[in-house]
Structure 1
């Protein structure tokens, strides 16, 4: 009966030791130390059981089979303990690897968080760049449109310039032609004053006034000796004359003749300090026609350095 109790106590000790190994509460160096202590305790307990068994065998007759079973049980306990220690070492290594993996995982998670933040920032910057790109594209499109408008305006201006250049060339040709024609056309113009002697007339007969003070005589068509203008070419001519009188109660006036034909008669009476008479005509003359001013009989004029009496004419254009 006592042997059965000892055997039961041994089994309980083994079960408790196994349970402590499976609980995994200790790892690493502490586990090795505690494992060695437990092995010694188990051996001591087994030895105690063996001693108790020896003591009790002296008192009771126990079957040799029980002792053999206890020894076998001790060997199994030692073998199991070795396996448990090996498993504990493997578990410690696995735990260390797990800790390292967790550390690596934490690092990877930190990196992943960093890269996620970086990706978010890049996405935000990409949106900003897309917005700027869209704005730039709109600006480019606007610049292209403005450039097209400017190009159209430049093209229109160039076309206008071409037209103007054509017109300018045509005008230059016309001017050159006019210059050529003008160079070929005779230039006729004259202007002359009457005299510096003072009073002229009145006379009993009509006389031709000789405007002897020549101011201009281009083409030499006017003769100050005779007072007669002779047309050098067929054309349209302009003539003007002025006569002046200072003697009181005196008549003044003049005729303008084209060849033998009297074209105008202008006169006035000096009832004050002086009197002036003027007139002008445009005449078509043939080459060799003459024009002159005549003083009617009984009429007088007065002239001095003030040039109050003038006879002028010029060619408008040849025919």
Structure 2
């Protein structure tokens, strides 16, 4: 565009110069002088036009470089915009993943808190159970275990005697707490409490009475006997619960004129044990 404008200005100047030469209104000298001036002006204008044309050509050469740079800048801007969009998408995805992780962490924390509460409950129960066990151990230590069971003899018949005798059950099966003495036949209560006692007496002699007494201290608590009219095996038994003080004794006696029997089959026995202490 600039080259065209310069070229048009040059044509206008040449046309004006030709118009002045054809008018004839000036003298020869003036004409020569004016001609010389005109030639100088024309030459100057031509040089100016050339310079302008060179400048325009230079600008024309520069313009494509500017457009190339602008295009490059535009491409860079587009690329940056695309990268920004991608980064935004990645950030949104990371935020979603972070929200999921936070939810899982919260859930895990709730589970941990619940497990801690349950553990505390279990520890409380365990402590309570341990205290109960310790209390039972103390009670057992304070109140000893007591139980005994013994058979009379392997010798066969015992009696009859003219006086009442204490039966010595010498075949000891069980004697926890060592409260029964096979030497004397007497059970001595180690603690105040409630005790259970049981006995069985066997007789085989024909036409004889057999039986036995159970005593608490000096008092007869039970007496069982029977008459064996024929030659047969006959037995009697009894059981009772007694409240004893510490040091009380329990034993069995054979009444005068009575006879009983025992053998390897342990048919005549005496047993007892502590139900609970008082």
Normalised-by-shorter TM-score class = 0.5 to 0.7
Counterpart in the other structure of 2:92: 130
Q: Which moved more, 1:235-244 or 1:66-75?
A: 66-75
Alignment of 1:64-213 (within 5 A): 65=27, 68-69=30-31, 72-73=34-35, 75-147=37-109, 149-157=110-118, 159-160=120-121, 163-164=124-125, 167=128, 170-171=131-132, 174-175=135-136, 177-178=138-139, 181-182=142-143, 188-200=146-158, 208-213=166-171
Higher strand share: 2
User: 1:263 is matched with which residue: 213, 222, 233?
Assistant: 222
* 1:284 to partner: Cα distance: 1.1
Q: Tell me, what secondary structure is at the counterpart of 2:153?
A: coil
Are 2:172 and 1:214 equivalent residues in the alignment?
yes
1:8 aligns with none
The answer (yes or no) to whether the contact 1:252–1:270 under 8 Å persists in 2 is no
Distance 1:80 1:154, change over 3 A: same
TM-score scaled by length of structure 2: 0.68
Q: Distance in 1 between matches of 2:38 and 2:230?
A: 177
- Separation of aligned partners in 1, 2:225 and 2:112: 69
Give the structure with the higher percent helix: 1
Contact 1:266 1:278 survives alignment (8 Å): no
Change (3 A) 1:286 1:248: same
TM-score by length of structure 1 reads: 0.61
Local SS of the residue matching 1:211? coil
Q: Distance in 2 between matches of 1:23 and 1:248?
A: 173
- Name structure 1 gaps, 5 residues minimum: 1-18, 25-41, 47-61
CA distance in 2, matches of 1:202, 1:254: 12
- Could you tell me which residue of structure 1 aligns to residue 7 of structure 2? 22
Structure number with greater CO (CA < 8 Å, separation at least 6) is 2
Answer yes or no: is 1:242 the counterpart of 2:209: no
What is the deviation of 1:96?
1.8
Structure having the higher Rg: 1
Q: 1:157 to 1:122 in 2, by over 3 A?
A: same
Q: How many residues align?
A: 261
Deviation of the 1:22 alpha carbon = 0.7
CA deviation profile, 1:42-90 (whole Å, cap 9, x unmatched): 9xxx9xxxxxxxxxxxxxxx99935753663464145224322332232
Q: Is the 8 A contact 1:236 1:285 kept in 2?
A: yes
Deviations 1:165-202 (A, max 9, x none): 653574466356435524xx6x6443322111234467
**SS in structure 1 opposite 2:56?**
helix
SS at match of 1:76: helix
How do 1:26-65 residues align onto structure 2 when only pairs under 5 Å count? 65=27
